[in-house]
Amino acid sequence: MAERPPDRLPLSVFIIAFNEADRIGRTLDAVADLVDEIVVVDSHSADQTRAIAAARGARVIERDWPGYGLQKGFAQDQCRNLWVLNLDADEVVTSELAAEIRALFAKGEPPLDGYVLRQTDILPGEAELPKFASSLDFIRLYRSDRGRYAISPVHDVVDMAPGARVGRLKAPLLHFGVRSIEDQRAKLLRYARAQVADLVARGRRMPRWRLPLEFPAAFFRAYVLRRYCLRGKTGFQVAVNYAVYRRARILMALQAQSRT
């Protein structure tokens, strides 16, 4: 095994990817000097994703797509370090977040078993982190013997072992998840179909009373509670897309239930 550069942490980053050539480069660049291993599991991208990742020193593995949780679990298993950091190919570790992570390892291993990161959306046309942007919290930095992604085709949530101690980091993890309004809408509708297929496979049913309420409730949640109302026209469009996706998911589920 190659000797670890003295300024890099005993930490593995793992990323799952598919057609991320336009985004994965900056994701990798942000952690290149922070960690001593990067693993990219690619689901047969048709663009230059694998070449870009390999050129930046990542270990690239091609694998068929089994679903979110299963793919992330596989990627975690490829990491050689005890501590792992999961990133999506459209996320960027800020310098402030990198400094926080370094501080955790300053005296050896971090004191807790896992850490929640604040994922904050950066929308198209935004040059910097908006002052009032809301965040979503996810466990992303953790000991691989104390946490693992749940086995699910549609959810990517880390299940920590009973009694595991979990902390929280303050600096944001930037999320460039919206390439365009049109691309976001198509992506959300694909995700809705996958979620409905999972519901059907598990024998779960969606109550019909949710159909008329889902759009206004989801729009309010995104536009007001997540403060997209402060982010101009793009914020409005993103909130509408979210509400359309939530209603479409209910409608697809009800249609599937009517056939059974």
Judge whether 25 and 52 are in contact, CB under 8 Å: yes
In the chain the domains, ranked by start, together with CATH numbers, are 9-175 (3.90.550.10), 181-258 (no CATH)
Judge whether 62 and 52 are in contact, CB under 8 Å: no
**Cross-strand pairs, 172:** 118
CB-based contacts of 151, cutoff 8 Å, min separation 6: 69, 70, 73
Judge whether 22 and 90 are in contact, CB under 8 Å: no
Please give the C-alpha separations between residue 184 and each of 35, 133, 197, 216, 234, in angstroms, as whole numbers: 31, 18, 20, 19, 12
User: What is the model's pLDDT at position 131?
Assistant: 85
User: What is the model's pLDDT at position 191?
Assistant: 94
User: What is the model's pLDDT at position 43?
Assistant: 98
User: How remote is the C-alpha of 127 from its chain's centroid?
Assistant: 21
User: What is the model's pLDDT at position 132?
Assistant: 86
How far apart are the two ends of the chain, measured CA to CA in Å? 55
User: What is the model's pLDDT at position 3?
Assistant: 53
User: What is the model's pLDDT at position 259?
Assistant: 85
What is the distance between the alpha carbons of residues 111 and 164, in angstroms, rounded to a whole number?
11
Residue appearing with tokens 């929640």: 116
Taking the model in full, what pTM does it have? 0.92
**From the first residue on, what is the mean pLDDT of each consecutive set of 10 residues in the chain (260 residues)?**
71 98 98 98 98 98 96 97 98 97 95 97 90 93 97 91 98 96 96 94 92 97 96 97 97 90
User: What is the model's pLDDT at position 1?
Assistant: 45
Show the 3-state SS of the chain. Answer: CCCCCCCCEEEEEEEEECCCCCCHHHHHHHHCCCEEEEEEEECCCCCCHHHHHHHCCCEEEECCCCCHHHHHHHHHHCCCCCEEEECCCCEEECHHHHHHHHHHCCCCCCCCCEEEEEEEECCCCCCCCCCCCCEEEEEEEEECCCEEECCCCCCCCEEECCCCCEEEEEEEEEECCCCCHHHHHHHHHHHHHHHHHHHHHCCCCCCHHHHHHHHHHHHHHHHHHCCHHHCHHHHHHHHHHHHHHHHHHHHHHHHHHHCC
